[in-house]
C-alpha cells in the first residue's frame, strides 16, 4: 500500500522527534524544517505518528486522532500478571464470550514483528463444535499411528503419554474449547521468533481477562506430520504453521503464585575479547546453530 505521509504544517513544531526516531532514516528535514519522506526506505512502522507530541503526522492512511492515548502502567500489577500466569489444562466445555474472543483477536495487530514484517496469520478455532471435530480427527489419526500402523516418530513423541492417550485421556488438546495457530511466511525475516512473541502477548492479555491458555507442542507436532490439518485451518500457501496455543474459560483457579528457582543471570563485565582456538570455535558454532 501507499505510504501517504502527511504533515499538518500548522501543528508541526519542528521538534525533530519523528526524524530522530525513524529507524530506516526515511524522514529528513527540508529547508523549511518540515519532515519529508523517502517512501522507498519507509517500512510502515508508524513510529512517526506515535512519537509526534502534537499529532501533526498522518501516515499509511492512519490519523493521530484515531490513536489511543498512552497511560502510565503499574509495574507491580504487570509483574503480578507475569508471576501468576500458569498453563491451564482444565477448561469449561463452553465457548468463550464473543466479546472476549473479539478482544483477543483485535489485540494481535499490535504484536511486534522483526523488520515490521506484518504478515503473520492466525487461525482461530473459536467454536467448540469445530474444535471437537478437529480434536476427534487428530486423536483418531494418532491412535492409528500408535496401534494400527505404528509410526516410530509418533510413538517417540508420545512415549510419556501413550498409556494415558490410549486410555482415552485428551492428552493433546487438554479438553480446551478453543485453539489458535500462528503461521508465518517461510521467507519472513524473523520467522523463527515472530510467532512466539505474538503468542506471548496473546497469553498475557488472555490471562488478564481470566482466560486460560496452554502452549501446545504436541499439536504443533501433529501439524508437521499431517499436512491436511493446515488445509483445514486455511493456512495460506507458503506459510509455515509455527506454534499452537489452546485457550478457553478455565475450570480451575490458582490461589497464589509459584516460587520458581531463578535462572542463571550474568552481569557482563568489561574485558578483552579472547582469540578462540579451532575446537572452541567449532563448539560455539555448533551450539549457536543447533
Alpha-carbon 202 to chain mean position: 6
CB-based contact 189:108 (threshold 8 Å): no
Decide: helix, strand or coil at residue 218. Answer: helix
pLDDT band at 151 (very low <50, low <70, confident <90, very high): very high
SS3 helix, strand, coil % of the chain, rounded to 5?
A: 40, 15, 50
Q: Where are the beta strands (DSSP E) in the chain?
A: 6-7, 27-29, 35-37, 57-58, 121-125, 178-185, 212-215, 239-248
End-to-end CA distance of the chain: 38
Mean pLDDT of 146-166: 93
CA triplet 181, 186, 190: central angle to 5 degrees? 85
List, for residues 240-282, the tens digit of each pLDDT value: 999 999 999 999 999 999 999 999 999 999 988 999 999 999 9
Q: Model confidence over 157-210: pLDDT tens digits?
A: 999 999 999 999 999 999 999 999 999 999 999 999 999 999 999 999 999 999
- Angle formed at CA 224 by CA 222 and CA 227, multiple of 5 degrees: 90
Contact 231, 162 (CB under 8 A): no
> What are the cell numbers at 21?
526516531
The CA R_g of the chain, rounded to the nearest whole Å, is 24
Q: What is the pLDDT of residue 200?
A: 98
Q: What is the reported pTM?
A: 0.93
Which residues neighbour 173 within 8 Å (Cβ) at sequence distance 6 or greater?
Answer: 131, 135, 138, 139, 179, 216, 219, 246
pLDDT number for residue 2: 84
Provide the phi-psi class of 9: left if phi over 0, else alpha when psi is between -120 and 50, else beta: alpha
Amino acid at each position: 500500500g501507499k505510504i501517504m505521509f502527511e504533515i499538518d504544517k500548522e501543528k508541526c513544531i519542528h521538534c525533530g522527534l519523528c526524524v530522530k526516531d525513524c529507524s530506516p532514516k526515511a524522514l529528513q528535514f527540508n529547508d523549511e524544517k518540515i519532515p519529508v519522506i523517502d517512501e522507498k526506505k519507509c517500512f510502515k512502522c508508524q513510529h512517526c505518528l506515535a512519537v509526534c507530541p502534537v499529532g501533526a503526522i498522518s501516515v499509511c492512511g492512519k490519523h493521530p486522532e484515531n490513536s489511543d492515548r498512552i497511560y502510565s502502567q503499574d509495574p507491580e500489577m504487570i509483574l503480578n500478571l507475569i508471576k501468576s500466569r500458569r498453563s491451564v489444562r482444565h477448561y469449561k466445555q463452553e465457548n468463550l464470550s464473543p466479546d472476549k474472543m473479539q478482544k483477543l483477536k483485535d489485540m494481535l495487530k499490535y504484536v511486534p514483528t522483526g523488520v515490521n514484517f506484518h504478515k503473520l496469520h492466525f487461525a482461530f478455532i473459536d467454536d467448540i463444535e469445530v474444535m471437537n471435530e478437529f480434536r476427534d480427527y487428530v486423536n483418531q489419526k494418532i491412535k492409528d499411528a500408535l496401534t494400527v500402523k505404528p509410526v516410530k516418530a509418533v510413538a517417540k513423541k508420545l512415549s510419556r503419554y501413550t498409556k494415558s492417550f490410549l486410555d482415552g485421556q485428551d492428552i493433546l488438546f487438554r479438553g480446551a474449547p478453543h485453539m489458535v495457530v500462528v503461521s508465518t511466511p517461510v521467507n519472513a525475516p524473523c520467522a523463527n521468533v515472530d510467532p512466539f512473541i505474538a503468542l506471548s502477548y496473546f497469553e498475557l492479555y488472555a490471562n488478564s481477562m481470566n482466560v486460560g491458555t496452554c502452549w501446545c507442542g504436541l499439536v504443533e507436532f501433529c501439524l508437521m506430520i499431517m499436512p491436511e490439518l493446515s488445509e483445514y485451518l486455511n493456512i495460506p500457501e507458503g506459510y509455515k504453521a509455527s506454534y499452537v496455543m489452546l485457550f478457553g474459560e478455565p475450570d480451575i483457579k490458582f490461589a497464589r503464585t509459584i516460587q520458581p528457582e531463578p535462572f542463571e543471570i550474568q552481569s557482563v563485565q568489561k574485558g578483552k575479547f579472547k582469540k578462540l582456538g579451532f575446537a572452541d570455535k567449532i563448539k560455539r558454532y555448533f551450539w549457536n546453530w543447533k
